Homo-oligomer: A and B are copies of this chain.
Amino acid sequence: MTRLGVLGSGKGSNFVAIAEAIDRGELQAEIAIVLSDVADAGILSKAKARGLPAEHVPPGKFRTKMEPEAEEALVSRLRAAKVDWVVLAGFMRMLKTPLLEAFEGRIVNIHPSLLPAFPGLEAWRQALEYGVQYTGCTVHFVTPEMDAGPIVAQAVVPVQAGDTAEALHERIQQEEHRLYPRALQALAAGSLTLRGRGVLRT
């Protein structure tokens, strides 16, 4: 059984979508561990409520990344849990060498835009302010460059007349909750393989 390590900083809605897809048998995998850089993150309490191992890993003194020792601690926890895939679900820190090397080609993230459009923070707001008529979400492999790794899966979300940032964000998240489990199932089933920049579908 494919073992997932889920990293998140927030309320954990994608974590719940993944856990529910496992419950329904749509995703053949198990969540081996849930880790967060935020002590009181909803993702940790939701994981514990499901009886899953969940742990806070203090990030150290930086704001946008883990301190190297903290990132090594993440790696230790993920290795001890025998994780096959590292699944970022609202994890708000850039990953650096320790984790990227330890799980090379085995780390995925979901981003609330049709990448390469609108990398970075609040992508739904960026999309609304730019005035696009279509945005969406993207599951991608994580590489050192932010939101720029090879694409695993995408879904389109139309912007509606009179959309607010909140309404658009909500519809994108609903699409994320469908897309992420499906993308993870393709990865778990081995039907997607990373080859350099490309994603091989078999």
Residues of chain A touching chain B, judged by Cβ–Cβ distance below 8 Å, are 114-118, 129-134, 136, 150-151, 153-154, 156, 161, 197-199, 201
Contacts and interface: CB of A to CB of B under 8 A. Distances in A.
Given A156-B156, A201-B161, A131 B114 contact: no
Given A156-B156, A161-B201, A201-B161, A131 B117 contact: no
A180 to B, nearest CB: 14
B133 A154 contact: yes
Contacts of A197: 129, 131
Contact of A131 (B133, B136, B150, B161): B150
When all copies of this chain in the complex are counted, the total is: 2
A155 to B, nearest CB: 8
A154 B201 CA distance: 28
A198 B151 contact: no
Contacts of A154: 132-134
A131 B199 contact: yes
Contacts of A132: 114-116, 151, 154
A123 to B, nearest CB: 12
A11 B117 CA distance: 30
Contacts of A115: 117, 132
A197 B126 CA distance: 13
Given A114-B114, A117-B116, A117-B117, A131 B156 contact: no
A197 B130 CA distance: 8
Nearest to A140: B131
Contacts of A118: 116
